[in-house]
Amino acid sequence: MYALAPFRIDVAQEALDDLRERLARTRWPGELPGVGWSYGVHQEYLADLVEHWRTDYDWRSHEARLNSFPQFTTVIGDQRVHFLHVRSPEPGATPLIITHGWPSTVHDFVDVIGPLTDPRAHGGDPADAFHVVAPSLPGFGFSGPTARTGWGVHRIARAWAELMRRLGYERYGAQGGDFGSLVSPELGRIAPENVLGVHVNALADAAVASDPGDLALLTEEDRAKAERNRKLWYGHSGYAVQMSTRPQTLAYALNDSPAGQLAWNLEWFVDWDPERTEQTPIDRDAILTNVTIFWLTGTAGSAARLYLESADAWGRRAARTTIPTGVANFAGDGAVRGLAELSHEITRWTSYSGGGHFASLQAPDLLVDDIRAFFRTLR
């Protein structure tokens, strides 16, 4: 009844030529002298990256790497869903669905899929093997634009439960970062009989108190961290306010200017100032591959809609889940354990001084080790 169609990325050369021509015609706005990143993305940094994108970046090599993983599409609730499905050679592997966030794509996972699915070949214990399912969020990349309203976190989680059912997985783990850190626990809430455990990084719902009364429940240290997070978010949340209120207005610019789309995504990828961030720098080709996927599929605007579709949950504490939950808190992540415990059954919490918000790109080895260690406790 439910077709799972094999999928292969094959971008027309004309689309790549058009992209380079548009990059060559970028109109630069100029910037104030000496302001660096304090007013937004630094033009000198962006211009250098645009030139690399136009002249040196090789889409075909990244296309080929993505095509080295088995890919499929299916339709769930009138929405096309694209996903990687990489089965482990180990017969006893644990099924695991992993979810990216914004402004990412499944390309974020190219360095973790091998170690997760075949630990024996990567110096690990075969008992830690996973069958990996990595969907593209609805509206992102090869899942294509969303055609209807309502594709927020809860609906995506329900779609993931249906996807795993179609693949024949009755018991599985869930992992995710950024928006994936919201979708994965929600999957546990709606399918607790199927989800054996949830592992998250870049936990997005535990940095700032949802209710002023929550601060009183925290230790002095956690309360101070939550207050610092609140002040930091106030100064850097303009992108989220725009996408959660008027994403369509933004979509026209993102869909028409590749340099503009890169600037919009880049601010988050480089943590606002690559010269001061404590996070591990992200390889610029990884950034460009994510942005190129958005550009080639015309989904920058539809990806932005995820913020509006999920906005009804902003500022509200999620119902507490009883699913065992592991949290990996990397450099730059603001998750506060006391806040996380109000909504999650935390059974493992690990903090790292390195890596960053996009851990699968910035610290893939640490992330894989943490995922393995968490699910090892549930076997």
Q: pLDDT tens-digit profile of 71-129?
A: 999 999 999 999 999 999 999 999 999 999 999 999 999 999 999 999 999 999 999 99
Better pLDDT: 293 or 213:
293
Per residue in 266-322, pLDDT (tens digit) is 988 987 777 778 899 999 999 999 999 999 999 999 999 999 999 887 767 888 999
pLDDT value at residue 133: 99
Please state the domain extents for the chain. 5-377
| Spatial CA neighbour of 8 closest among 55, 52, 69 | 69
Does the active-site annotation cover 222? no
Measuring CA to CA, how many Å separate 66 from each of 87, 101, 128, 203? Answer: 15, 18, 24, 26
Better pLDDT: 240 or 210:
240
Rounded Cα distance, 179 and 355, in Å: 18
The mean pLDDT value for 9-14 works out to 98
Among candidate residues 307, 333, 344, 370, the one labeled active-site is 307
Where helices occur in the chain by DSSP H, the ranges are 13-24, 43-55, 59-67, 113-117, 153-166, 180-190, 220-236, 238-245, 247-256, 258-269, 284-297, 300-309, 337-340, 359-362, 364-376
Average pLDDT value for the chain? 95
Rounded Cα distance, 206 and 187, in Å: 17
Does the active-site annotation cover 357? yes
Per residue in 120-168, pLDDT (tens digit) is 999 999 999 999 999 999 999 999 999 999 999 999 999 999 999 999 9
Per residue in 149-160, pLDDT (tens digit) is 999 999 999 999
Among candidate residues 108, 128, 357, 370, the one labeled active-site is 357
**pLDDT exceeds 80 at position 1:** no
pLDDT value at residue 236: 84
Among candidate residues 108, 118, 128, 178, the one labeled active-site is 178
Does the active-site annotation cover 178? yes
pLDDT value at residue 317: 81
pLDDT value at residue 218: 87
CATH class of domain segment(s) 5-377 = alpha beta
pLDDT value at residue 124: 97
The structure's pTM equals: 0.97
